[in-house]
């Protein structure tokens, strides 16, 4: 009877409240409780960070809650190993997928990034750098007549057939340009002299494609479209996302290798006069050139990435893989840490039975999660760096820049803390009186 009266009051019946008033009042109270819990958790996390810093500098002695968290983790070493393995597995999965995605974003714009152009003029409808449509070189003279344009250098991008010495052919992507400040020249040169690329029949290739092209490198004589070429430069790290090898050559010779007329080009790289506004000049160029358009480098990068991401299945597959890796990682970490913390529910009930505050229990659980996050991420990061080194010379390397590494660390901490909060809910539901029935 007493329970019924209390229950009636909790529903607002004894005070004559409507259900709408009760729900509104309960919602506000719930939000306050959630807000209070989040703020307390943030304060505890900040305290844990400050404590860890002071501990590492040797300025403090570990308090009891830190010792308890460490002993909970290391008491059952097999369970601790399983927890760390789950975190490491999930974070390596996420790291590799995100590293491939970063590599993809970098590789699809690598030529645009290394061209010293203020504007790009290209055929209408060009989707990405590797889309080799052709411009008439008369567009170059139209561009030079536009106020604000200081120089317009032609660049040829075209597919050609490379004759493999062992038999057969393989496609390559020719990059032809004259040697000047605005040209698109190879970089990361590991063998040869850059000036040698101006000599007749000279080409440059990346050493990651030696095996595919059937060559041993510098000094080899090869054939492109039944025409003689000699490798004068060797680069490292200039790779195509499509895995088609890039081959650099002088503009006229590249036209010959590709079988393209002397007055044709794929792009015009534009350098502006000092003080000229890029957007103003771009609009003027778009009004002057025929069957062509001018884009800023940023706009061309965005278009190229959008094409590979959404116009083909390759980018979408990498994006989906990265997203799936994050989802799987979150689930694995949450399940592993939740199960690990749940095993100590009776121990935490004992702490509450002897008078420990909720905040004390929260702190122990969160510190357990943070310790697991640091250990697990440290191992995962080491494995990630090994993968980066192993794939450095592959067709599609894994790239993990410092920004991504920092983001993955915070993701690991967030996943572990989220799992700890889920475990806290279970632990706090355990009746402290259960310790007297054991």
* Cβ-proximal residues to 110 (8 Å cutoff; 6+ apart), any chain: 238, 239
* Cβ-proximal residues to 318 (8 Å cutoff; 6+ apart), any chain: 97, 100, 101, 104
pLDDT value of position 69: 67
Please report, for residues 106, 184, 219, the alpha-carbon distance to residue 188 in angstroms, rounded to integers and kept in the order given.
16, 13, 18
Task: Give the residue from 64, 130, 365, 399 showing the smallest Cα distance to 266.
Answer: 130
pLDDT value of position 247: 92
Q: Which residues pair with 231 in a beta bridge?
A: 203
Q: At CB < 8 A and 24+ separation, what contacts does 63-66 make? A: 65/360, 65/363, 65/364, 65/367, 66/367
Structure tokens given for 7 = 């229950």
Query: What are the strands, taking DSSP E only, across 334-403?
Result: none
Please, what's the b/e burial string for 49-59 (b: 16 or more CB within 10 A of its CB; e: otherwise)?
eebbeeeeeee
Query: What are the strands, taking DSSP E only, across 164-276?
Result: 169-177, 189-191, 202-206, 221-224, 227-235, 246-249, 264-265, 267-272
Cβ pair 225, 179 in contact under 8 A: no
pTM comes to: 0.67
Q: What is the pLDDT along the chain (438 residues), one digit of tens a residue?
A: 333 333 344 334 434 444 444 334 444 554 555 556 556 655 655 665 665 555 555 555 456 666 666 666 666 677 777 777 877 887 888 888 888 888 887 888 888 888 888 899 998 888 888 887 888 888 888 888 889 888 888 999 999 889 888 888 889 999 988 877 677 888 888 888 888 888 878 899 998 888 888 888 888 888 888 889 899 999 988 888 777 889 998 888 889 888 888 888 899 899 898 888 889 989 988 888 878 888 999 999 988 888 887 777 666 677 777 677 767 766 776 776 677 666 666 666 666 666 666 677 777 777 777 787 888 888 888 898 898 888 877 767 888 888 888 888 888 888 777 777 766 666 666 655 554 555
Distance CA 378, CA 376 (A): 5
- Cα–chain-centroid distance for residue 283? 34
């Amino acid at each position: 009877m007493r329970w019924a009266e209390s229950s009636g009051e909790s529903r607002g019946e004894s005070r004559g409240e409507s259900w709408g008033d009760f729900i509104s009042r309960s919602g506000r109270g719930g939000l306050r409780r959630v807000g209070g819990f989040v703020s307390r958790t943030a304060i505890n996390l900040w305290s844990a960070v400050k404590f860890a810093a002071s501990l590492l500098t040797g300025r403090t002695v570990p308090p009891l809650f830190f010792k308890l968290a460490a002993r909970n983790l290391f008491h059952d070493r097999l369970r601790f190993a399983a927890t760390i393995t789950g975190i490491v597995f999930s974070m390596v999965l996420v790291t590799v997928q995100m590293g491939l995605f970063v590599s993809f974003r970098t590789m699809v714009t690598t030529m645009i990034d290394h061209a010293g152009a203020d504007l790009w003029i290209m055929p209408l409808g060009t989707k990405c750098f590797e889309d080799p449509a052709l411009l008439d070189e008369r567009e170059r003279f139209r561009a030079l007549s536009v106020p604000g344009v200081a120089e317009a250098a032609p660049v040829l991008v075209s597919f050609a057939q490379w004759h493999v010495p062992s038999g057969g052919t393989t496609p390559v992507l020719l990059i032809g340009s004259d040697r000047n400040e605005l040209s698109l020249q190879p970089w990361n040169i590991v063998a040869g002299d850059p000036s040698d690329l101006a000599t007749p029949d000279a080409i440059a290739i990346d050493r990651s494609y030696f095996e595919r092209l059937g060559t041993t490198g510098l000094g080899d004589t090869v054939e492109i479209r039944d025409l003689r070429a000699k490798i004068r430069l060797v680069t490292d790290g200039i790779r195509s996302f499509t895995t088609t090898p890039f081959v650099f050559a002088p503009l006229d010779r590249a036209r010959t290798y590709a079988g393209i007329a002397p007055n044709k080009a794929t792009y015009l790289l534009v350098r502006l006069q000092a003080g000229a506004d890029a957007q103003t000049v771009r609009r003027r160029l778009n009004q002057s050139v025929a069957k062509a358009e001018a884009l800023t480098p940023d706009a061309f990068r965005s278009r190229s990435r959008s094409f590979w991401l959404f116009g083909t299945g390759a980018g979408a597959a990498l994006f989906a893989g990265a997203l799936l890796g994050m989802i799987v990682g979150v689930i694995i970490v949450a399940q592993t840490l939740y199960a690990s913390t749940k095993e100590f529910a009776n121990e935490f009930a004992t702490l509450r039975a002897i008078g420990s505050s909720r905040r004390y229990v929260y702190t122990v659980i969160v510190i357990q999660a943070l310790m697991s996050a640091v250990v697990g991420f440290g191992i995962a990061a080491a494995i990630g760096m090994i993968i980066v080194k192993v794939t450095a010379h592959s067709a599609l390397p894994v790239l993990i820049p410092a920004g991504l590494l920092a983001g993955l660390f915070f993701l690991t901490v967030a996943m572990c803390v989220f799992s700890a909060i889920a475990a806290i809910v279970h632990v706090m539901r355990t009746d402290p009186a259960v310790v007297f029935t054991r």
